[in-house]
Structure 1
Amino acid sequence: MRQLSTTLTVATAGRGFTEITAEVCGWVAEAGLQEGLLTLLVRHTSASLLIQENAARAVRTDLARWLERLAPEGDHYAHDDEGPDDMPAHLRSVLTGVSLSIPVLDGRPRLGTWQGIWLAEHRRAAHRREIALHLIGA
């Protein structure tokens, strides 16, 4: 049994979704493990990780609109230390999650045909987000 870890840094352009599937799959392939478990954790409270369709852009548009309805910006939050998008970003992160666990088989994350790994940026401003990757297996 072997374990490997790294940190992936992703620059975002502000609120939206950035696909990181290629970077994650490339790191897993370089690791050389054939079978195991990959864990990802975004190290922030106003961004999240998703496994979602990577073919139809409308999926991401609809998801963004849904999150906006569930956690809209406004002056009704007590926590607004970093501006009006601060607390809604935390809520969106809670709704979508900050970690993923993905089985690895045949040296690749076992994603479905249309599944991609996405970093969701919930703040309006651009950020550099860190994602911790950990792989255990043989």
Structure 2
Amino acid sequence: MWLQRDLTLKPHPRGFHLITLEVMTALPEIAGMRVGLLQVFIQHTSASLTVSENASPDVRRDFERYFNHAVPDGWTGFEHTLEGDDDMAAHIKASVLGASLSLPVRDGRLALGTWQGIYLCEHRDHGGSRRLLLTLMGEGR
């Protein structure tokens, strides 16, 4: 089975946001799969995706602090500055973290670890809604 679906996420403020529930809600067909893969692809260059700890909000805040320290907005060395101080920094953060995830599906659910969740990493102050392309492939039960 192959299935592909678009998911538009509501605008989120800058930061790291758990979106596992939104992704799972968009794909009820996962419940009928015995084994498979879900690819999640973000169709933007200033936001990204990652998998990390889903329990403590401290983790999400620490991610944001780290990336803002490592790649500061408005760094004087940036040439691409027409779209605001946060734009080029957002592109770099998105490139480092990545635009897609490949996640295993087993027995009707994502086979994530106990404390793992899918993050939308919003790197702009006003990024707007974000589009994801979800591609599910595998065998039914």
Decide: shared fold, TM above 0.5: yes
1:11 aligns with 2:10: yes
Could you tell me which amino acid in structure 2 is paired with residue 115 of structure 1?
A: Q
Q: Is this contact kept in 2: 1:12–1:121, CA < 8 A? A: no
State the partner residue of 1:26.
25
State the partner residue of 1:45.
45
Q: How many residues align?
A: 137
Q: Is this contact kept in 2: 1:37–1:101, CA < 8 A? A: yes
Could you tell me which amino acid in structure 1 is paired with residue 21 of structure 2?
A: A
SS in 2 for 1:125: coil
SS in 2 for 1:34: strand
State the partner residue of 1:63.
63
Q: Is this contact kept in 1: 2:12–2:129, CA < 8 A? A: no
Question: What is the alpha-carbon root mean square deviation over aligned residues?
Answer: 1.3
Structure 1 residue 33: deviation in Å? 2.2
In 2: Cα distance, 1:27 partner to 1:128 partner: 16
1:111 aligns with 2:106: no
Structure 1 residue 126: deviation in Å? 4.2
In 2: Cα distance, 1:53 partner to 1:106 partner: 22
TM normalised by structure 2 equals: 0.91
Any runs of at least 4 consecutive aligned residues in structure 1 with deviations exceeding 4 A, and if so which? Answer: none
Between 29-38 and 62-71, report the one with greater CA deviation. 29-38
| Percent identity of paired positions between Structure 1 and Structure 2 | 45
